[in-house]
Structure 1
Amino acid sequence: MGDDLASAFDKLRAAAEGLPEIAEATSYGTPCLQVRKKFLCRVKDADTIAIMCPLEEKQMLIEAAAQIYFETAHYHGWPVVLVRIDAISADELHHRLERAWLMQAPKSLVKARQAAG
């Protein structure tokens, strides 16, 4: 992994801290994070990450913060939003990863996390 990708992936790793059962893997040849083998996010390139996002939130995010969130034709209609890694705050990135985790984690794992407080 090149230094540029490593920097972006380090930000993802840090933002995912505290989320249960996060695993590192690769997706389309770049580093990604998963929960129980289900995709959460990946480094698309040195400047961009792709992160799972409910479709109903995706358009709102793009309209509210186009400097951070966007999509390309490839991702149109898919529950994935593209994020400019240097434009998003650490807190916002953690929130987005938590939302992706809730979307992708098995219901039993979500319930166990909610029960733990």
Structure 2
Amino acid sequence: MIDDEMGARLREICLSLPEVVEKPFGGHTAPSFRVREKLFLMTSEDGLTMMFKAGPGVQEALVASAPERFFVPAYVGGKGWVGAQLDVEQDWDEIDELIRDSYRLIAPKRLVALMDGRV
């Protein structure tokens, strides 16, 4: 399962975003985060990886530049989602930015504007 420090970091980032709730995905117990019932971040049951939505070209760029940190996840990889290893050294500023970008792709425009301070 995801360790306490990593779980706390992910929760701090995700729950700081407008209208985000933590809710397990399917029958899993691993943390997942949603905005208006739409997933923007999932963690694996073993806590070793997380998956997030990315814009065009981002998945390919991340996997090509840091294959030890990022991967194309099964099932959702074809839809632009990116996997990130949580059991390796990660740049948490970059992870924060990637999570926020995932939120921007999934959340309604009004919530994105609120997040970005445009409202």
TM range (shorter): 0.7 to 0.9
What does residue 36 of structure 1 align with?
Answer: 36
- In 2, the alpha carbon distance for the partners of 1:90 and 1:25 equals 22
Calculate the TM-score normalised by the size of structure 2.
0.81
Instruction: State the match for 2:62 in structure 1.
Output: 61
Q: Is the 8 A contact 2:31 2:42 kept in 1?
A: yes
Q: Is the 8 A contact 2:18 2:114 kept in 1?
A: no
Question: Using the alignment, how far apart are the partners of 1:110 and 1:83 within structure 2?
Answer: 23
| Bigger proportion of residues as strand | 1
The aligned residue for residue 5 of structure 1 is 2
Give the unaligned 5+ runs of structure 2.
none
- What is the number of equivalent residue pairs in this alignment? 113
- Runs (4+) of structure 1 exceeding 2 A deviation are 4-11, 14-18, 72-76, 111-114
RMSD of aligned residue pairs (Cα, Å):
1.9
Q: TM-score, normalised by structure 1?
A: 0.82
Report the CA distance between 1:36 and its aligned residue: 1.5
**Distance in 1 between the 2:113 and 2:74 partners?**
35
1:77, CA displacement in angstroms? 1.3
Higher helix share: 1
Aligned to 1:101: 103
SS of structure 2 residue aligned to 1:66: coil
